[in-house]
Structure 1
């Protein structure tokens, strides 16, 4: 198994951009363990573990500042992060299973030429609503995270511009 990854290789592995990893390093959230003589960032297996925790906490809706605080203060263990992520996925699966079962019920009724009761449609609509709300909340959380990153990026750019002007 490989012991070190350069920033480009790690970005591909994690499904992130090199720019994101460099930004994480710039704000002190995720820094490489080592550098080559020529200055290339090198990440090791413990770095992979930290990156997994960062990505998981991000998916759970925490801002980058909150993630940094949680990880630096040791407020939550890697196992707890994984358990939180599993609980979120189980809840999503439960909602999808409920929707699938209700759709199957309606489909069987239609195929059997049985009249559909108002309750069949209202239950289907309720399950669809719950599933849709969960999706909307997840999308909103992701947009908020992206806006946080953009704000952080722009703030860093402003600071650099001001320091150049001075």
Structure 2
């Protein structure tokens, strides 16, 4: 007999929230292959495989729109996906290298007891902001997932929720 999972079971299995799975369904990124007689979403092994692809592409840093384009074969080839991820990593490395250079410059000024100007601090703060921008976005997404999970618990969703 073919294995089928209800949305709550799939959420537990994958570590995603029910709300995330419902959102993916709403935007037509990931929909169940069947519904029970009572209307519950039912996910198959093929659905689980597609979800694994989605999560892998997200892990590469693709947006949900980019993931959707990849899975529908609209815009990205595997080479383009790898190239996109490489470009993002190079950009992050460059931001970190610039921050390191500016920190070294300010540190040297301080060690030599030279004045550190307002412009020096402004430049440093701007680079720190750029450096932490991605971290802040990732932290916000983590908290949103936690709030979604808490919301699922508060809303009283059970494992067999639609």
With normalisation by structure 1, the TM-score equals: 0.52
Q: Does 1:95 align with 2:99?
A: no
The structure-2 alpha-carbon separation of the partners of 1:10 and 1:51, relative to structure 1 and needing over 3 Å to count, comes to farther
Name the counterpart of 1:126: 123
**Aligned 8 A contact 1:25 1:32 in 2:** yes
Change (3 A) 1:32 1:25: same
Cα shift at 1:50: 2.8
Q: Give the drift of 1:127.
A: 5.2
Task: Return the alpha-carbon distance in structure 2 between the equivalents of residues 79 and 49 of structure 1.
Answer: 16
Residue 161 of structure 1 corresponds to which residue in structure 2?
none
The CA deviation at 1:91 is 0.9
Unaligned 5+ runs, structure 2: 145-162
1:68 corresponding residue in structure 2: 68
* Higher helix fraction (1 or 2): 1
Instruction: Quickly say closer, same or farther: Cα 1:27–1:46, change in 2 above 3 A.
Output: closer
Determine the C-alpha separation between the residues in 2 that align with 1:102 and 1:117. 12
Question: Is the contact between residue 30 and residue 51 of structure 1 (CA under 8 Å) also seen in structure 2?
Answer: no
Question: What are the superposed Cα offsets for residues 68-105 of structure 1, whole Å, 9 maximum, x if unpaired?
Answer: 34532431024422431332132122112211222123
- 8 Å CA contact 1:32–1:47 kept in 2: the answer is no
Match in the other structure for 2:10: 7
Q: How many residues align?
A: 127
Partner of 1:47: 51
Task: Identify the residue that residue 57 of structure 1 maps to in structure 2.
Answer: 62
Gap change, CA 1:72 and 1:116, over 3 Å in 2 = same
The answer on whether the counterparts of 1:99 and 1:127 sit within 8 Å (CA) in structure 2 is yes
RMSD: 4.1
Supply the distance in 1 between the matched residues of 2:20 and 2:104 (Cα, whole angstroms). Answer: 43
Q: CA deviation at 1:49?
A: 1.6
Structure with greater contact order relative to length (CA < 8 Å, sep ≥ 6): 2
* Secondary structure of the corresponding residue to residue 28 of structure 2: coil
Query: For residues 44 and 125 of structure 1, do their structure 2 counterparts lie closer, same or farther at Cα, with a shift above 3 Å needed?
Result: same
Q: SS state of the match for residue 57, structure 1?
A: coil
